[in-house]
Amino acid sequence: LRQVVNLMRELHHPPAPSYIGMKAQDITQDVLQRHEHPGSAFRNVLLVMAGLALLGVVGVVMLLSEGFDDSNTWGYHAVIFAYIFTVAQSAVLVSIVLRMVKSHWRRPLARISEMFAAVGLFNFLLMIPLLWVLPSTDGRRSIWFGAPEHSPHFWDTLGMGLLVVCGLALLYFASIPDMAAIRDSESTSRRNFYRRMSMNWHGTSHQWKVLRAGISVLGGFYFLLLIFVHMMISVDFSMSLIPGWKDAIFPAYHAISGIQSSIALILVTMFILRWRTGMREYISVHQFWGLSKILLATCLLWFYHWWASFFTYWYGRTPAELAVLKFLMFETYKVPFFLAWFMCFLLPFLILMWNIVRKTTWGPTLAGCIILIGTFFNVVHWYVAAFSIEDHSLHVLESAPPVNMPGVADVFVIVGGIAGAILTYMLATRIFPIISLWE
């Protein structure tokens, strides 16, 4: 009986993280040592990602050789752009929200989350060719009926650009105290670089007050911009291109999918850091347990938003609504849709519903991997379907085009796009420490 009681106590109260008993000087020295000397494995992975990213460049060149007239050619390029936006750029929000609610267990994962702002710069480059493929709003439905000039190209570029700048500013200002610590370290070989980056930081009370206020303001702006850009990207690059698809819930559904997949991405990233970089002292089961409970809630929210969007069309049954259901869910793109349904809701829900599984490092990571794969298929059935439509002036999808299967160039773009995002993240870790020292 005593063993059972001890087991139940351990399940509900895991042991304290190792860094709780460490001195501040030891933590600083250890993290800076890891930052200065990432190891040969890091360099090998970096070279592999660089090679795969070059493969993506070859794929983009192959697409460019076919021009911008046929939007069907660019369907999978739109998928990788939307996937990185949904998964990576939404990941910055995890640190922002957890900081707003003053949760202390999130401190070791704060920089892991904020570092994904650097991936937004890479994704902005992926967006540029799609602006030439995206048709104008003349003669078709769009949300820009009150601002037809330069729509949607100008507004989408402005929104994404502001989001990227805000994310990079948040990452930079949240890293200033750590860059000052690197500047003052005797072992650093880039003292002049960090002297300029740390902006004469000395940790005065006034500097701390300004820093905390700046991080709060930038976090609030990023939150607002991210939801707004989710609305623009989901509508302009997907919903408005499919005749008969009019759904006010879809932008919120798109944002919920981003929040869910971003938590999954951070769980997988933390697991890799624990497994390959030996950061068990800083990333403990507390972070996995805390995020897993939020991830379980987002699985239910994902299903709720899908259902609220679906049953309106199912019970409405107008010709336009039935055509959209058949095209996106039950006929043309039924395979990616059902894969997304099972992997974004059912499977992770069945895994995370057990507290004994959530209270581990492998359980939430397994659910996170499944969700990341499911989100990819979800994006495929949204964006590949939208870019396969030729006539955008119709009000009803009279004849659905066939499934757009990926070609060689599409595979290159998908592999290279994901590798490029990973490469960008890894390069950012050479500037900013992956663990936030001051927090």
- pLDDT for res 37: 85
The amino acid occupying position 136 is: S
Structure tokens at 364: 């939430």
Say how far apart CA 173 and CA 166 lie, in whole Å: 11
In this structure, the chain runs to a length of 439
Say how far apart CA 22 and CA 3 lie, in whole Å: 30
Interhelix angle for 117-133 vs 75-87, to 10°? 150
Q: What is the 3-state secondary structure (H, E, C) of 81-105?
A: HHHHHHHCHHHHHHHHHHHHCCCCC
DSSP state of 387: H
Say how far apart CA 184 and CA 175 lie, in whole Å: 14
- pLDDT for res 29: 86
* Torsions phi, psi for 94 (to 5 deg): -60, -50
- pLDDT for res 10: 53
Whether the bond into 17 is cis, omega within 30 of 0? no
With tokens 């040969």, the residue in question is 40
- pLDDT for res 193: 92
Structure tokens at 10: 């351990």
Which residue numbers in the chain have pLDDT < 70? 1-21, 146-150
Say how far apart CA 392 and CA 394 lie, in whole Å: 6
Burial of 395-404, coded b for 16+ CB within 10 Å and e otherwise, reads: eebeebeeeb
Say how far apart CA 35 and CA 214 lie, in whole Å: 25
DSSP state of 429: T
